[in-house]
Amino acid sequence: MLVSQKIRIAGQVQGVGFRPFVYNLACRFGIMGYVSNDERGVIIHLEGKSDAINEFYRELIDNPPPLARIRSHFLEPSDPEDCSDFRIRTSQKAGPLNLQLTPDFGICDTCKKEIADPKNRRHDYPFTTCVNCGPRWAVTRDFPFEREHTSLDEFKMCPECAEEYENPSNRRFHSQTNSCSACGISMGLFDAIGSQMEVSDSELFSKIADLISCGKIVAIKNTGGYLLCCDADNPKAVMRLRERKRRPAKPFALMYPTLEMLETELRVNETQRNMLLSVPRPILILSHEGYSGKLALESIAPGLKQLGVMLPYSGLLELLARELSRPIVATSGNLHGSPILSEEKEVMSTLKGVADFFVHHNLQIENPQDDSVIKISPRSQEQIMFRRSRGYAPNFFDFQAPEGKSVMAMGSQLKSTLAFLPNTYLYQSQYLGNLDNYDVYERFQQTSRRFIRVFEREPECILVDSHPGYMSTQSGKELSLEFGASCYEIQHHKAHFASVLGEHELFGAGDPVLGVIWDGTGYGEDEQIWGGEFFMYRDRIMERWNHLDYFDWIAGDKMALEPRLSLLSLIDSSMLPEIASKFDKQELRIYLSLLKSNGLKTSSVGRLFDATASLLGLCDRNSYEGEAAILLENHAASYELENCKSFIEVGSKGIFSPKNLISRIHEEKTRGESTEVLAVNFLFSLAWVVKDMARRAGVRKVAMSGGVFQNSILVDMIRELMSDEFDTYFNVNLAPNDENIAHGQIMYHLNQVR
């Protein structure tokens, strides 16, 4: 029986080779019709035998293209169009977009083999891609995902590329990023003053590798933006990059040429190996304990026992890796605190004096992105997102909403991101950075405008943090006036809590959920600085249930930069002589005077980490955000839970005193206890108090968020300590830090939390 039917498929189905896959599958089943992208995904018109169409449908849904993520699908009758064959039709857009966008994909194994094969026409071509790999969001100007909507449209395909594109049997059939050395993107090597060097294409990457091995710093334009690269075995080169980039201590990421080389130098378990080889190709944080190689460890990651490492994820990096005999530093091409750069003129101006040489290419990067950063906790193998960017943005896959008002969430000040709900999908921007930096704020503004333009829908509701001084809040209020949108303030820590509730679909849970929200700072509803919060959520009501006992916040933003100030705020008078050396006499007099008259209080666990790190002599001044906390975790790497002890005594009201905790640590330190044991027991004390509070609250479910929960040892301790008695939830596909605030704002609003 001949029938005519239509299939509609939604999800991540554009830019993943879906249409050519459908074409070949339809031909296999002898079905006529066509397939096209539209504003909602993929639409397939089918004419043929009923049994064949049903088999086609089952096969398509059960075994879709490897990069596709099908969200919904349905089959329904359709009017016949008397099709005589099966074709791929040009995208038809009849309204605003309502589909998942496509993130960037790491280079696939087949493309890697092609660029390494002297007999292949793409041998040594750095921008080799196919339907299964390559940049997507980085080059996107508009959707549906067609070449004309990307910056690749500036490169007209040569006859051979065009033949591949049109040939159903070719693996680049309808590959929108298709190009080759004859028609595609060109590169060049330039010196520090912008003069192009005479280097042939065949010698380019060996020349770059030679420069790096000679101790030079090279800024390389990759597919998401510029990377600053130098020899990771050369401490002088690494320190020179630190000085020029104005990044005194924050660890640098490394790129290893191959997984085999990486595994000969660092221990990698199966979970970590799979993450390194995953399609997003993130930077993965690995322990380097026991390392005996040549890396300039103290220059790369000062004072730390861990390294951020990645493998080549583009053809360009793959070709460079082939010429390298050692790992290289590969850090974002910017000055410390600024956004990653992608424009040649801006790079030559901003990084003049930083890089010795520059590698440019002429592909326009529409959406610059830093590399994503992930850590796998050592015991529970929990995924902890440190930075969600290339390979993950701009989608949040595990969520879909009913049609309604368009909502834009402006997020936070530090670790800023934007979230937009213009249709039934939620879009989460790449990590943007600290909005105190003017260039980051400009990128933030551009990203919000790009979302509005791409989706052709103005926000009708704008969500902002309740902190009146945040640039994200001010920007949101300005947008609300411009578009006549309603504007709602959502408290910072409630947004954190909502992010993890939303990620694990806990809003509809009948049981109450205890929220443990620990971070460095957030504007509280009592106008104090929160950061050590316990919330209770049930039946759309979220209330502050308890908190860390308040202590003095002094010297404004300076307190977050100088852990010694947190320590000064938390000691009793008997400890003052011991820590006085951390200050000069005038400083000490001023700060003690501030403490006497201070009215601003905080419950911040982040500052408690700072105070402990300062007390243990690990860090008195942060040169980068979270340095003290990272160093503290670094000294607590080894422990047995049964040998740990808690320093915390919770009072009858369930509020624990950070001053008592600091006093107990000081007592143990005075008795001669090691820094390592004290660091372990500090973290154990915090894990223990989470369990104690959950028992007092009488709940089964405990959800945790906030930057403190990037501490992998704390996460593992909580898992181990609570697993028999409680269900514990952490951010997994979102960073627990302020990157998740925009997401949490949307979740809080959509679920009508009071």
* Both structure tokens of 715: 């996460």
**Among 8, 37, 141, 719, the one annotated catalytic:** 37
Catalytic residue among 19, 71, 457, 664: 19
Tell me how crowded residue 712 is: count the other CB atoms within 10 A of its CB: 20
Within the chain, what is the greatest distance between any pair of CA atoms? 94
Q: How far apart are CA 225 and CA 138, in angstroms?
A: 9
Report d(CA 568, CA 554) in Å as an integer.
Answer: 10
For residue 300, give the nearest of 255, 366, 351 by alpha carbon: 255
Q: Edge-to-edge strands of the sheet including 253-255? A: 187-191, 357-361, 218-221, 226-231, 328-332, 253-255, 306-310, 283-287, 373-376, 383-387
Closest by CA position to 336, among listed 629, 738, 628, 624: 624
Instruction: Tell me if 552 sits within 8 A of 516, measured CB to CB.
Output: no
Q: What are phi and psi of 519, to 5 degrees?
A: -155, -165
Contacts of 440-444 with CB under 8 Å at 24 or more apart are 440/337, 440/338, 440/339, 440/416, 441/471, 441/475, 443/339, 443/368, 444/416, 444/418, 444/471, 444/472, 444/475
Residues 607, 613: Cα–Cα separation, whole Å: 10
Please count the CA atoms within 13 angstroms of the CA of 82 that sit on its side-chain side: 0
364: left (phi over 0), alpha (psi -120 to 50) or beta: beta
Annotation marks residue 19 as catalytic: yes
Query: What's the rounded Cα separation, in Å, for the pair 176 and 393?
Result: 19
What are phi and psi for residue 209, nearest 5 degrees? -60, -40
Residue 290 · residue 187 · CB < 8 Å: no
Question: Which amino acid, 58?
Answer: R
- Catalytic positions, written as ranges: 19, 37
